[in-house]
Structures are given as C-alpha cells and as structure tokens.
Structure 1
Amino acid sequence: MRNKIDHFAVGADTLAQGVSAMKDALGVDIPQGSKHDAMSTHNCVMQAGNESFFELIAIDPDAPEPARARWFSLDDNTTQARLKERPRALCWVVNTDDLDAVIASSPIDLGEVVNFQRGDRTWRLTVPKDGHLPENGLLPAFIEWSPGPHPSTGQQNLGVTLSKVQIQTPDPAHLKEIFETLQISHLAEIAEGPTALSFVLDSPKGSVTIE
C-alpha cells in the first residue's frame, strides 16, 4: 500500500474565528474552500506541501441538519465546547491507494466507507457512523481518490507546510502496534503523555504548533 498524509483538519467554532486565529498564528489568510452537503460543514483550504493540504473546517450555519452525524466529532458537545475556546487540531487523513486493504487489515473499526463526489472527482473516506474519531483522533481517517491530480494542486500555496504530526497517548506501545499494522508508522511521531494531537507547521511566522 502507498500511504501518505493527504490533509489535516483544524476545527473551528466558525470559519471566521478560525481564519482570524490562523492569521494571527501563521501570518496567512486561508482562502475559502467549499461546502460538504452530506455533512453540513464548510471549509477553508491551502496547500501544505508534498501534495497535502491544510483544512480549516466548521459546521455550516446556513446548511440544514445532515441526515447523519457529522464527521470529525463536530456534533460532540465536548468538541464544540473546546472549539468555542479556540481552533483545535481535530483530525488527520491518510491517502491510500488501497482503502479496502487498509480496512481489512485494521485491528480496530475505522468506520463505514462513505462515497463523495464534487464535479467529476470522487473519493472514498472512512467515517464512523456516529461521527466519533477513532482513538480520539490519534488514528487518522483514510481516503482514496479517483484517478487525477491531487486536489492540493489547485489550491493556493501561501508558504505553509506541514513539518510533522505529533501524537501523545498514555499507551504508545498499543498505538504503535496499530500504526505498524496499518503501515503508517512513518507518518507521525508518537510519545507517551496525555492524549493529544498536534500539527507542527513551517509558516511565514516560523515554526508553529497547532494543538
């Protein structure tokens, strides 16, 4: 399997809150992205190096209630309370060329595979039905795109690149075993500590950690 970081999501209470906070932290204005009709969310996006992208995501206040739980735990009361305080590192997504093999090999339930389409581009993504994040967001979602250029190639390059994904967990041996099975050990640093996910970014303001 070819597994690499596809994108990473920073959640916000509102996109306006997130854009303002990222302007202060990174020194850039993240451009408006698109709406996710099935999830009633919307985003702002920019390139993050190595055919990956930074996604700032929030519940779309103008969208109707979705028919299912929103992804990335955005319906969770605890998540919503934390995002009201400030934007947070929410989830990371791994691009794979064999999603079915990833699911078959996974020692834990990654959720159902949901099909999405925008224009002539389609993608398949693992999304738990109840919207929770496997391993509290420490484990990534997995995505498989239809053939074609990676979406990041059409996004703006504002000089922000992902340096590393950092993970803390009270049981690093357990998580490392899962990562090895899923062939993603090379994509994140795992250390012992309270459960936490963070993204280290190189930006116009230097090295910035979003957690």
Structure 2
Amino acid sequence: MNIQMDHLVIGAANLKQGVDYVRDLLGVDIPYGGAHEKMGTHNHLMQLGNNTFLEVIAINEDDEAPNNPRWYGLDDPFVRRQNEIEPALLTWVVNTKNIEELTKQATFTVGNAELISRGSLSWYFGLPEDGRLLAGGMLPYAIEWQTDVHPSTNMADLGCKLHKLEIYHPYPSWLKDALTSISALDLVEIKALPKNSTPYLVAHINTPSGIKKVTSHGTL
C-alpha cells in the first residue's frame, strides 16, 4: 500500500488567530484556502514540499452548523477550550490511492470514507462518526484525493518545508503497530515517553529563518 504524508493540521478558535500564530511561529503569512460546507469549517493553506502542506482550520461561524460533528475534534469541548487559549498542531493526515483498502488493513478505527469538496476539489476522507481526533491526534486521518496532481502544487510556496514529524508517546509499541498496519510507520519518528505521560506531536519545519517547531497542545 502506497501511503504518503499529506498534511499537518493546526486548529484555531478562528482563522485570524491561526494566521497570526503561523506568522509568529514560522514568519510567513499563510493564504486563505476556502470553506468546507459539509463540515462547517474554513481554512488557510500553504505548501510544505514533497506533495505535503500545512492547513490552519477553524469553525466557520458565518456558515450553518453541519448536521454531523465536525472533523478534527473541533466540536470537542476540550479541544475548543485549548484552541481558544492558543492554536496548536491538532493532528496529521496521510494520503492513499485506496482508502477502502487502508480502512480494512488498519488495526484502529479510521472512520467512514466520506466524499467532501471545497470549490473544484473533492476527496474521500476517513471520518469517525463523532468527529474525534484519532488517538488524541497521534494517529493520522486518511484521505484519497480525486485529482491526478496533488493539490499542494497549486498552494502558495512560502519557502517552508516539512523536515520531520515526531510523535512522543508513553506506549510507543502500540503506536508503531497501529502505524505499521497502514504502512505509515516510516513517515514519522516515534519517541518514547514515561508511562502516564501525555503524548504530543512536534513538527520540524524548515523556514526562511531556520527550522521552527510546531507542537500540539500536550507539549511539555
């Protein structure tokens, strides 16, 4: 199964807050992407090299609330409170040419493959029914783009490249087994934490002003 890193997701209480966060952290102004009517969200996007990208996402208060829970845990009261304090890296996404096959092979619940669109783009996305983050964001969502060319090629190139994604976890063997089941183990570096520690993500991004770190809410 050919699995690739697709994108990193930064959650924010609103898009201005998220854009300001990226500017302060990476030194760039990430441009607007669009709205996801089915999810009641909107985003800003930029390339991270090698057919990957960075997404800043927030609830779209100007749009009607969806009939289903939003993705990326954005309706979760804990996630919402954390995002109101400060934006952070919520999770990561892998892409596949066959999301149904990935779903069957996964030892964890990927969710139902739902067709989603934004403008002229469409894709299948693995959505848990309750919209939750998978393993608190440590396990990736899965996407199958309905395009011949990866959409990141049409996003702004601001000189930022993903160097690596690290996952710090108190149960590294479990995490490795889960990622191995979807052929995604080689996409990240897994670091062991002491038992009872809070897992977290650290993305190392090469920017025009050097390598910067984007972290999840659980970072110590």
Residue of structure 2 equivalent to 1:196: 200
Residue of structure 1 equivalent to 2:33: 33
Secondary structure in structure 2 of the residue aligned to 1:48:
strand
- Residue 25 of structure 1: how far off its partner (Å): 1.0
Matches within 5 A, 1:1-211: 1-193=1-193, 194-211=198-215
Q: Give the aligned residue type for 1:17.
A: Q
Structure 1 residues 34 and 25: CA distance shift in structure 2, 3 A: same
- Residue 117 of structure 1: how far off its partner (Å): 2.9
Structure 1 residues 120 and 81: CA distance shift in structure 2, 3 A: closer
Distance in 1 (CA, whole Å) between partners of 2:19 and 2:105 is 38
Q: Structure 2 length normalisation: TM-score? A: 0.93
Distance in 1 (CA, whole Å) between partners of 2:64 and 2:8 is 25
Structure 1 residues 188 and 155: CA distance shift in structure 2, 3 A: same
Does structure 2 retain, via aligned residues, the 8 Å contact 1:44–1:55?
yes
Residues 57-104 of structure 1 show CA distances to partners (whole Å, capped at 9, x for unaligned) of: 011111111110000000011101111111110111101112111111
Distance in 1 (CA, whole Å) between partners of 2:147 and 2:154 is 15
Q: Give the aligned residue type for 1:144.
A: E
Distance in 1 (CA, whole Å) between partners of 2:56 and 2:210 is 19
Q: Structure 1 length normalisation: TM-score? A: 0.96
- Worse-matched range after superposition: 144-153 or 51-60: 144-153
State the identity as a percent.
Answer: 37
Secondary structure in structure 1 of the residue aligned to 2:49:
coil
Q: Which runs of 5+ in 1 are unaligned?
A: none
Does structure 1 retain, via aligned residues, the 8 Å contact 2:25–2:212?
yes
Secondary structure in structure 2 of the residue aligned to 1:164:
strand
Residues 117-156 of structure 1 show CA distances to partners (whole Å, capped at 9, x for unaligned) of: 3455421010101011111111100111124211111111
Structure 1 residues 209 and 77: CA distance shift in structure 2, 3 A: same
Distance in 2 (CA, whole Å) between partners of 1:14 and 1:168 is 27
Distance in 2 (CA, whole Å) between partners of 1:118 and 1:164 is 28
Q: Which runs of 4+ in 1 moved over 6 A?
A: none
Does structure 2 retain, via aligned residues, the 8 Å contact 1:47–1:155?
yes
Does structure 1 retain, via aligned residues, the 8 Å contact 2:47–2:160?
yes
Does structure 1 retain, via aligned residues, the 8 Å contact 2:34–2:118?
no
Secondary structure in structure 2 of the residue aligned to 1:135:
helix
Distance in 2 (CA, whole Å) between partners of 1:24 and 1:203 is 12
